């Protein structure tokens, strides 16, 4: 079952079938980041969750003008995610997928740290009423929100 950051049940598939939305997946690792392989340490875009989320918060009105809602999807514990949401502020829906229920259906890229903890790679999807119009792995974290907005403007 998918939940929002407060722990309430969230009917994810109904939501994305009825709405236009941008989903950004973030790998908020905390101390698990200490257990990155050398390959992952050199992966662009692996860190920077706060920068990415604040970018979307700052552009929320621009997305809404185009008819798109923003969802942030993470795999932290619900308590850690709620804290992150409160730290970020803004009007973004935070969705908790700590059980990786969306991984297969949305064909999401993942990784594991050396201590065996699993995360989604930082990636963004643009969805229009259930149809994935665009997806990309994020390498430019600080500019993901503005870059995704530019992609979205070309699609609508």
Residue 41: how many CA atoms within 13 Å on its side-chain side? 6
User: Are 52 and 84 spatial neighbours (Cβ–Cβ below 8 Å)?
Assistant: no
CATH code given to domain 3-155: 3.40.30.10
User: Are 22 and 125 spatial neighbours (Cβ–Cβ below 8 Å)?
Assistant: yes
pLDDT (tens digit, 0 to 9) for every residue of the chain, 156 residues total? 899 988 899 999 999 999 999 999 999 888 777 888 888 888 888 888 999 999 999 999 999 999 999 999 999 988 889 999 999 988 899 999 999 999 999 999 999 999 999 999 999 999 999 999 999 999 999 999 999 999 999 998
The domain spans of the chain are 3-155
């Amino acid at each position: 079952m998918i939940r929002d950051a407060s722990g309430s049940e969230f009917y994810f598939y109904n939501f994305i079938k009825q709405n236009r939305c941008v989903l950004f997946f973030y790998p908020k690792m905390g101390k698990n980041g200490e257990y990155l392989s050398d390959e992952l340490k050199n992966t662009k875009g692996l860190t920077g969750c706060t920068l990415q989320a604040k970018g979307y918060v700052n552009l929320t009105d621009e997305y809404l003008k185009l008819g798109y809602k923003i969802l942030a999807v993470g795999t932290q514990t619900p308590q850690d995610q709620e804290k992150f949401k409160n730290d970020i502020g803004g009007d973004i829906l935070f969705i908790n997928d700590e059980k990786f229920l969306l991984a297969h259906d949305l064909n999401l890229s993942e990784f594991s740290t050396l201590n065996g903890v699993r995360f989604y790679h930082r990636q963004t999807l643009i969805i229009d009423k259930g149809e994935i119009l665009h997806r990309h792995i994020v390498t430019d974290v600080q500019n993901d929100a503005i870059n995704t907005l530019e992609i979205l403007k070309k699609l609508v």
